[in-house]
Chains A and B, each alone.
Chain A
Amino acid sequence: MNATSFSYDRLLNTLGAWVLALMWALPLVYAVWTAFHPAAYEANFDLFAPLTLENFAKAWQAAPFARYFLNTVILVTMVLAGQFFLCTLAAYSFARFTFPGRNILFALVLLQLLVMPDILIVENYKTMRLLDLVDTIPAIALPYVASGFGIFLLRQTFMTIPRELDEAARIEGASPLGVLWKVYIPLAKPTYLAYGLISVSHHWNNFLWPLIVTNSVETRPVTVGLNIFSAIDSGVEWSVINAATLMTSGPLLIAFLLFQRQFVQSFMRAGIK
């Protein structure tokens, strides 16, 4: 009796999980459908609709997506490299050094979790104009490079590393930076992976700030390019837009699919939970 009620329960759960999964996958499924079928089938779901690659060709010709894609890759690399570098140093400082002003400075770092650059668009735009950086890729990246979240996360991880390891390395003659490089960074790998994942998916998909601060083909990331491409007088062409979306999100999508298990494990080990 217990067994039957258990399987009933299991059935319901499986059903719920699947219904939700189908709902969640629907946009992607629709994107794939329209991208590979002629425009006439955007709203007609005929199983025998002819397949085509024409939408990809059209999207490729209609906007410089190769360039947008390159810009996004440069942007994301720049942000990630900057974040890893700056946040590591700052987190190390907070985790293992005592100095006057530490608590106040840490509070100021935490403040950025709340007052994100996304909100200060007006002033940051003025700043970029002052620096003559408007319409450059560094301008998109700079406000995000010193990440309060990154510093917080790495500090938490560094603090869990036993002091004994640290001291052992110092006895062997390592400088503070050497200790950071040899002890802390290797042990914090899962945190870097998890944080890197969050950062890449965030900046790959970020829209508002790049929209404001860029206005030429050489600097626009994919998201802004997609928006310009879809906001035209002649109406929405879903087949072409979705083909463009798939082309530009493809690499991230595939990376996620291949590494999803590792991602979750790195989150677990990084203590982001």
Chain B
Amino acid sequence: MSAKPSMTSRREWIYGWLLLLPAMVLLFAFTHVPAITTLLNSFFSTPRGRRAAKFVGVENYDRMLSDPVFWKVFWNNVWYAVGTIPVSIALAIAMALWVNDRLAGRSFVRMAYFTPTVLPLIAVANIWLFFYTPGFGLFDQITGYLFGWPSSNYLGNTDTALVAVMVVTVWKEAGFFMIFYLAALQSIPLSLKEAAQIEGAGRWTVFWRITFPLLMPTTLFVSVNAVINSFRLVDHIFILTDGGPDNASKLLLFLIYEVAFRHWETAYAASLTVALLVILSLLAIGQFYFVDRKVHYK
């Protein structure tokens, strides 16, 4: 058993590259190359049976910028992100704190918080559709019985449809994010909290001064996920509103789907995808800047 000579650096290079090769090939094939071809295709017209694609310059972008539906959907998505991200994260932290505590019926409570992670959004959307249904829907039955409210058409009004969709998103996200916070909480040493409590700090003080700062890396990780999800989670819209009424609950990815696979306008869909990529990149740059300053990641 003789000691092997240490690898030459060249051999190490080859090892490194070979190990990386399969993943990089697929990564390029389904992420980087399509991102670039999307950009290229956005400068061409949509090929149709009788007409081939031709170079049209920025025509698709002109159309996008003057398309009221695009702007409507853009602002919907902004509100969707602003509305769902903080609420999901706050609820996730609350849930994790509760479940981590000695609480009556803890295992039931934890199980309840887990349910959104397990049930497919597309299927649950049907259930929420029933909850929201005016008249005999669950929410109307409850508000009618308790407060004598008249029936409300949450999904059928332009002012409430997006909020109704957001509630479902928060339900889905908070339960999932809770898992991350729960793991983080369990690794915080109890002694820290106990020391603070001995010094007479209240629960709020302990939370804000000790727990919350220690959860910061998790919060960043979760918020990056939440931002991405706010542009990615559109499954429930298919069932709940189909983007309506009058585009009130349509989000960018749903619009891309609609333009590409219902209207068959792939070129316009490409320019919408580029817009989405630009938005995500700007957010990423912002977040990395923030992460860099606030948290030291290795």
Contact = CB atoms under 8 A, between A and B. Distances in A.
Determine whether A and B are in direct contact in the complex, meaning some CB atoms lie less than 8 angstroms apart. yes
Interface of A: 9, 13-14, 16-18, 20-28, 30-31, 42-43, 85-87, 89-90, 92-94, 97-100, 102, 105, 108-109, 111-127, 142-143, 145-146, 148, 151, 156, 159, 170-173, 176, 201, 204-205, 207-208, 212, 222-223, 226-227, 230, 236, 238, 241-242, 244-245, 248-249, 252-253, 256-257, 260, 263-265, 267-268, 270, 272-273
Nearest to B204: A9
Contacts of A16: 94, 98
Given A226-B120, A263-B179, A86 B234 contact: no
- For chain B, the bracket of interface size reads 35 or more
Contact of B238 (A119, A227, A263, A273): A227
A30 B23 CA distance: 43
Central interface residue in B4, B34, B239, by most chain A CB within 10 Å: B34
B218 A97 contact: no
Summarize B's interface: helix, strand, loop or mixed: helix
Summarize A's interface: helix, strand, loop or mixed: helix
The 5 closest A-B pairs by CB, nearest first: A273-B184, A123-B34, A97-B16, A267-B183, A99-B16
17 contacts: A13-B103, A14-B104, A20-B112, A24-B112, A93-B19, A97-B19, A114-B281, A119-B232, A122-B38, A122-B266, A123-B35, A123-B38, A124-B34, A151-B23, A170-B4, A226-B123, A238-B127
A20 B94 contact: yes
A267 B16 contact: no
Given A13-B101, A212-B261, A253 B270 contact: no
A135 B162 CA distance: 33
Given A28-B119, A143-B30, A260 B234 contact: no
Contacts of B228: 113-114, 116
Nearest to B272: A122
A173 B5 CA distance: 10
B122 A30 contact: no
Contact of A24 (B1, B13, B115, B239): B115
Contact of B12 (A42, A97, A114, A170): A97
Nearest to B115: A28
A24 B105 CA distance: 15
Contacts of B59: none
A182 to B, nearest CB: 15
A267 B23 contact: no
B134 to A, nearest CB: 12
Nearest to B34: A123
A32 B186 CA distance: 32
A89 B186 contact: no
Central interface residue in A27, A89, A94, A205, by most chain B CB within 10 Å: A27
Central interface residue in B20, B22, B35, B184, by most chain A CB within 10 Å: B20
B38 A120 contact: yes
Contacts of A248: 120, 123
Nearest to B253: A119
B183 A21 contact: no
A17 B103 contact: yes
A250 to B, nearest CB: 10
Given A114-B284, A116-B228, A146-B30, A273 B122 contact: no
B15 A93 contact: yes
B230 interface: no
B269 A122 contact: yes
Given A264-B183, A270-B183, 13 more contacts: A43-B137, A93-B17, A98-B12, A109-B27, A114-B284, A115-B35, A119-B280, A121-B261, A122-B270, A127-B34, A208-B257, A264-B179, A264-B182
A149 B29 CA distance: 17
B37 interface: yes
A263 B141 CA distance: 37
Contact of B126 (A145, A230, A253, A272): A230
Contacts of A17: 95, 98-99, 103, 109
Contacts of A111: 31-32
Contact of B23 (A86, A102, A143, A244): A86
Contacts of B181: 273
Contacts of B24: 90, 105, 108, 146
B55 to A, nearest CB: 18
A272 B179 CA distance: 9
Interface string B16-51: 110110111111011110110110010000000000
Contacts of A13: 98, 101, 103
A61 B217 CA distance: 49
Contacts of B111: 25, 257, 260
B165 interface: no
Interface string B188-218: 0000000000000001000000000000011
A159 B136 CA distance: 56
